[in-house]
Amino acid sequence: MEPRILGLFANPNGGVPKLAVDTLVVSRTGCVGDRQNDLKHHGGPTRAVCLLLDSVLTRLRSEGHPIGPGSTGENILIHGLEANSLKTGVILDFETVTLEITGPAPPCKTIKASFLNEGFTALSHKRDASQTRWYASVIKAGTVNVGQLVSILNESEQVGNP
């Protein structure tokens, strides 16, 4: 199966969990209808969208963590990409939206309910580089939908290249 959007999440009141939505409007500064309570650590142009791979969520669940879609603050849950395929600088194309990974999203205590014994560092890039959420900036704004395909662009396909 081709990589695709498994879930979209936003919370107009801020914080977690993020609530499932079928469609998400992505602007250069974030997801419309989603609010961050801590703007020092979340949101803004370099942290406009938070991404999580379904394989990471599944792995954490298999370890007994009560994590669920949207519970760790991700806006987009992606199915079908390998955990080691994402890193800073990777460009993701969602057909109508293009994002660039800007770095890992460090875990914080606000997501502790998603983990056994409040062990939110189980989702830490420092602990395991393949088991993390990612922040992304928006190269091309637009609307994404659940089920939409996603691909990793190589250098010759990247937006802005002739």
Q: What is the pLDDT of residue 38?
A: 57
Is 162 among the domain residues? no
Distance set, CA 120 to CA 26, 66, 100, 117, 123 (Å): 27, 11, 25, 9, 6
Q: How many domains does the chain have?
A: 1
Q: Which domain holds residue 46?
A: 4-157
Q: Residue 61: CA atoms inside 13 Å, Cβ hemisphere, count?
A: 11
Joined tokens for residue 18:
């993020």
pLDDT at 162: 42
Q: What is the CATH number of the domain that holds 141?
A: 2.40.33.20
**Whole-number Å distance between alpha carbons of 43 and 50:** 9
Q: What pLDDT score does 14 carry?
A: 86
pLDDT score, position 135: 95
State whether the Cα torsion 123-77-149-36 is positive or negative.
Answer: negative
State how far the Cα of 56 lies from the Cα of 54, in Å rounded to an integer. Answer: 5
What are the pLDDT tens digits along the chain (162 aa)? 799 999 999 999 988 999 999 999 999 999 999 977 655 555 678 999 999 999 999 999 999 999 999 999 999 999 999 988 999 999 999 999 999 999 999 998 889 999 999 999 999 999 998 899 999 999 999 999 999 999 999 754 555 544
CA proximity to 60, closest of 151, 121, 9, 126: 121
Strand partners of residue 4: 79, 149
Q: What pLDDT score does 75 carry?
A: 97
Q: Does residue 44 contact residue 27 with C-beta atoms inside 8 Å?
A: no
pLDDT the model gives residue 41: 54
CB 92 within 8 A of CB 151: yes
pTM of the model: 0.91
133 occurs within a structural domain: yes
